[in-house]
Structure 1
Amino acid sequence: MRKLSLKLGIIFFITLFCIETFMMFFLHASLTNSRVEEELTSLQARGNSHRTILEQNFNKETLSHVVLMESDENTDVVITDDEGIVLASSQLYSEVKNIINKVERNVPYEGKVLQDNWQEAASIATISPIQKQQTTIGYVYMFQNTDSIHTLMKRLNKHFLIVGIVSGFVTIVVIIILSRKLAKPLIQMKEAALKMSKGDFTVALSTNGKDELGDLSNAIKLLSSDLNHLRQERKEFLSSIAHELRTPLTFIKGYTDILYKRDLPEQDRQKYLAIIIEETNRLSRLIKDLFDLAKMDENSFIIEKQCLHLNPFFTSLKEKLSPVFQEKQIHFTVHCEEELTLWADQARLEQIMMNLLNNAFTYCASGDTTSVKVTKHNDVLTIIVQDTGKGIPKKDLPYIFERFYRVEKSRSRALGGSGLGLAIVKELVQAHGGEVTASSEENKGTIFALSFKGVESNENYFMHR
């Protein structure tokens, strides 16, 4: 936690320090310039005031009065004629003389600042022209010692230093609190990710925040839940594979040993060989189904669509399966509207229908009915496979498309199946861009509905999951 919070703290501190430093310098310069400007404006106003008095009475008494007015102030006044000759002054020293000698005589009536460099010069200065009948007859020079300005700047610098130290301390405290608050959930998420990498999906993260960190926390919890579900599915999947492979292999091995070790009558030999062939076929189908599912998972399962005329397709399917249903005395019907077409892989569509009809055949008894109905409404083609068999319990219905899920928990061999048929149906239907749904009631039957939107699309489709 220290590393991340330290990095965040340093970044925040540098950023805020730069901002605060810039603002402090800007504010300091603004206050300084404003104060000096006020002093210069005040000095110029005093000079203009003296100039107004002298314009009314430009004589020795008035000159003395003006000088006397500035004798007790921290300012000095110098009055000259239009040639620059000093007529009166409250204090005259070499720097004042240098300033007077350098002044050009075209001074505007409102006056102007002669010297404002308070950092280096001993005083600041202004000039105001004395005019009579629009003719300049003299000048009023005003001088103010810069010691007061320097004293003011020292106090200002001291205050800014105190404010800077206090704000810096407060900034550091706030940064420490904020950086730890930001770093803590990130560290928890890192630890959660490490736990998940080791196979521990019991992740407990706070998801109260409604910001990006809260969204990330929710995403990690969802990922943990999904990974845990996948792990459980993988365990169940491997367990189911082991069971499904072990059963036929046990039969094959057992009856093969009997045939090899015993001298059996021909009738028994044929019986045992038939069982071995049946179990071998079961094992072959299971391996084929697993291989198909593996290719689907790897996105290497190709669906090659073509324009398939459905009426001949389902007519052929009925002719192929009718004898099997008749043997079990199950009424089997197929209804497909004329001229219906679907862009589909014929072999894969037949595999879908075979799995669904085999399911219906397995769970129907003598006298039950199995029907296939194909219709099209707007741009949606629907294939409905309905039977009146034993149905599916409501609690099992949401899981029938999961791999190796079987309603018969006893795994009765009389009802057969590996639990992969409906999983393959779902994958193949989705590969065609369709959807499959199921509804059922116990002892009343089951309905599977396959829906395909945009049935006139003619592009070849490589399955994407």
Structure 2
Amino acid sequence: MKLIYQNMLGFLLIIVTTISIIGYSGIGYARNQAYMQNYQRMEGYANSLGALAEADSQAGTARLSNNFLDQLEFVLRGEDVHLRIFNDQNEQIYPKTNARIQLSKNIFSTLKNGQEIRIQNNHNETSPIASTKDAYTGVLVPWMNDKNLVGVAWISSRVKRVERPIYLAKRNLLRALLITVAVGLILSFIISYYSTKRIKRLSRATQKVAAGNFNVQIEHKDSDEIDQLAENFNKMVQALKQSNEEIKAQETRRDQFMADAAHEMRTPLTTINGILEGLQYDAIPEESKPKSIALMQRETKRLIRLVNENLDYEKIRNNQIMLIKTNFDAMPILQDLKSQLSQNAKKANDQLIVTGPEKLPIYADRDRFTQVMVNLIQNAIQFTHDGQVEISGKRIAHGTQLSVQDNGIGMSANQIKYIFERFFKADPSRARMGTGESGLGLAIVSSLIKQHGGNVTVNSKPGQGSTFTVTFYDHGFEQFVKKN
């Protein structure tokens, strides 16, 4: 069953149930009121007749002559009221009949004690009065003079007359129920259509997303739960879109890495294979053999470095390395790196500068710290030509901060977003020199810094250079930061 019909059925069930409960209660109340008013009316007649009978204790019921009672019943006939009178001997004295009519002993005994008896319907099994052709309701009222029974008045009326207002109430209730169901059907259709229309809109949007369209957005007013669902749907689609874009970017970088890795491996392998064939067929002169062997060694080291960088990154990423942190002076290491990497900087016509205090205490793993700084400096040299690369360090509260600043090509905001991810290259078309061509250097830096409990940031603009800043915290401070 469609949701719109389910909602309509639910609304109708609520309406019908509510009307039925109210109608049942209303009819029950109307029935009770009708019978109560009838009892009170007939008791009023009986008490008025009783007052006449009690006025003369000697005459008793004799004062109520047949002629008088005939006239009274004629007057009350318009109200469908019928009268019977019994004397103190339990004999029916009005209307007179040839047969001797008496009340049952139990009923007469009850009346003799001064208690009234109300009869709702003498067709009921529990009625104290025998059943008649037509159903009657009425009262048996004893007339007492002090504690002495004077007589009994049995005043009754047909049930169908008493229940006529109840029948009218039922008919009005049925009419109201039909009108309410019709109106409720229309209103429930409108409300259900409005709700299901918004749900259908969500369904259509979901189908578009399932088909790969992540630009779907649903307008909403934040007024109810469906609008909240629409808002959450929009957030989900945005998250899926970002995730899809990141997956595509990762795939692009992976494909680029595989192409670069294949290219980088093919070049040294081709060189090594050519030299080996030359040596095999004595195609290389004796004087050129030392240079050829040296070239093979360099190309072999290049291949080993490419493989080691990938293995090193996997170990770092999976926390498979052990950091041996100590306190040491970072300035001598920075000066040594300046000397070691000056040749690479010279090839790019770059100037290496180291600035900082005379002593720069730092708490880190010495070898991994060196690896971090080498990768950052080589990255700066790689993307800077005819410029300068400045390595600086300083103490900050509870730690040591180092920066590598260049005035090279710089990066855009989108490049900065992915700069620390594996395989990413800010300028894949640029000729590479030295190490760093695998696209793993900065990914390794980020992983090592995280394992040290520090942080790394980058500030860059296209054409204005880049500044990488790393922070190493003092012993015990990273645990304090985690706890707080």
Q: TM-score range by the shorter chain?
A: 0.7 to 0.9
Q: How does 1:420-459 map to 2 (within 5 A)?
A: 420-440=440-460, 446-451=466-471, 456=476
Residue in structure 1 matched with residue 59 of structure 2 by the alignment: none
Residue in structure 2 matched with residue 244 of structure 1 by the alignment: 260
3-state SS of 2:376 partner: helix
Q: Contact 2:268–2:299 (CA<8 Å) still a contact in 1?
A: yes
Higher mean C-alpha displacement, 170-179 vs 209-218: 170-179
Residue in structure 2 matched with residue 406 of structure 1 by the alignment: 425
Residue in structure 1 matched with residue 82 of structure 2 by the alignment: 76
Q: Contact 2:453–2:472 (CA<8 Å) still a contact in 1?
A: yes
Residue in structure 2 matched with residue 256 of structure 1 by the alignment: 272
Identity %: 19
Residue in structure 1 matched with residue 42 of structure 2 by the alignment: 47
Among 157, 179, 190, the residue aligned to 1:144: 157
Among 22, 27, 32, the residue aligned to 2:27: 32
Q: Contact 1:77–1:90 (CA<8 Å) still a contact in 2?
A: no
Q: Contact 2:391–2:403 (CA<8 Å) still a contact in 1?
A: yes
Change (3 A) 1:38 1:451: farther
3-state SS of 1:57 partner: helix
Residue in structure 1 matched with residue 402 of structure 2 by the alignment: 384
Q: Contact 1:255–1:272 (CA<8 Å) still a contact in 2?
A: no
Q: Contact 1:389–1:444 (CA<8 Å) still a contact in 2?
A: yes
CA deviation after TM superposition for structure 1 residue 411, in Å: 2.0
Residue in structure 1 matched with residue 128 of structure 2 by the alignment: none
Residue in structure 2 matched with residue 204 of structure 1 by the alignment: 216
3-state SS of 2:78 partner: coil
Q: Contact 2:90–2:102 (CA<8 Å) still a contact in 1?
A: no
Give me the whole-angstrom Cα distance separating, in 1, the residues matched to 2:478 and 2:111: 97
Q: Contact 1:115–1:125 (CA<8 Å) still a contact in 2?
A: yes
| Higher radius of gyration, 1 or 2 | 2
Among 209, 213, 216, the residue aligned to 2:229: 213
Give me the whole-angstrom Cα distance separating, in 2, the residues matched to 1:94 and 1:382: 125
Higher mean C-alpha displacement, 424-433 vs 166-175: 166-175
Residue in structure 1 matched with residue 328 of structure 2 by the alignment: 311
Q: Contact 2:209–2:216 (CA<8 Å) still a contact in 1?
A: no
* Aligned: 1:300 with 2:300: no
Residue in structure 1 matched with residue 110 of structure 2 by the alignment: 104
Give me the whole-angstrom Cα distance separating, in 2, the residues matched to 1:175 and 1:21: 17
Residue in structure 1 matched with residue 137 of structure 2 by the alignment: 124
Q: Contact 1:78–1:90 (CA<8 Å) still a contact in 2?
A: no
Give me the whole-angstrom Cα distance separating, in 1, the residues matched to 2:100 and 2:441: 112
1:53-76: per-residue Cα shift (whole Å, max 9, x none)?
Answer: 235422416755653442111343
Q: Contact 2:406–2:466 (CA<8 Å) still a contact in 1?
A: yes
Change (3 A) 1:427 1:387: same
Give me the whole-angstrom Cα distance separating, in 2, the residues matched to 1:414 and 1:8: 66
CA deviation after TM superposition for structure 1 residue 243, in Å: 2.9
Residue in structure 1 matched with residue 57 of structure 2 by the alignment: none
RMSD between superposed Cα atoms in Å: 4.5
Give me the whole-angstrom Cα distance separating, in 1, the residues matched to 2:17 and 2:321: 66
1:285-325: per-residue Cα shift (whole Å, max 9, x none)?
Answer: 444444555677xx73346566x33434x356336524215
Q: Contact 2:4–2:193 (CA<8 Å) still a contact in 1?
A: no
Change (3 A) 1:442 1:16: closer
Give me the whole-angstrom Cα distance separating, in 2, the residues matched to 1:294 and 1:83: 118
Residue in structure 2 matched with residue 229 of structure 1 by the alignment: 245
Give me the whole-angstrom Cα distance separating, in 1, the residues matched to 2:101 and 2:6: 52
Give me the whole-angstrom Cα distance separating, in 1, the residues matched to 2:256 and 2:123: 94
Q: Contact 2:16–2:177 (CA<8 Å) still a contact in 1?
A: no
1:168-220: per-residue Cα shift (whole Å, max 9, x none)?
Answer: 7447735862574254135325423532xxxx345535243533420342144
3-state SS of 2:425 partner: coil
3-state SS of 2:429 partner: coil
* Aligned: 1:60 with 2:61: no
- Give TM-score scaled by structure 1 length: 0.74
Amino acid at match of 2:427: E
Amino acid at match of 2:326: H
Residue in structure 1 matched with residue 482 of structure 2 by the alignment: none
Higher mean C-alpha displacement, 210-219 vs 81-90: 81-90
CA deviation after TM superposition for structure 1 residue 386, in Å: 3.3
Q: Contact 1:331–1:367 (CA<8 Å) still a contact in 2?
A: no
Q: Contact 2:352–2:388 (CA<8 Å) still a contact in 1?
A: yes
Give me the whole-angstrom Cα distance separating, in 2, the residues matched to 1:191 and 1:99: 85
Q: Which runs of 5+ in 2 are unaligned?
A: 54-62, 126-130, 480-484
Amino acid at match of 2:82: D
Q: Contact 1:337–1:375 (CA<8 Å) still a contact in 2?
A: no
Give me the whole-angstrom Cα distance separating, in 2, the residues matched to 1:81 and 1:173: 69
* Aligned: 1:417 with 2:429: no
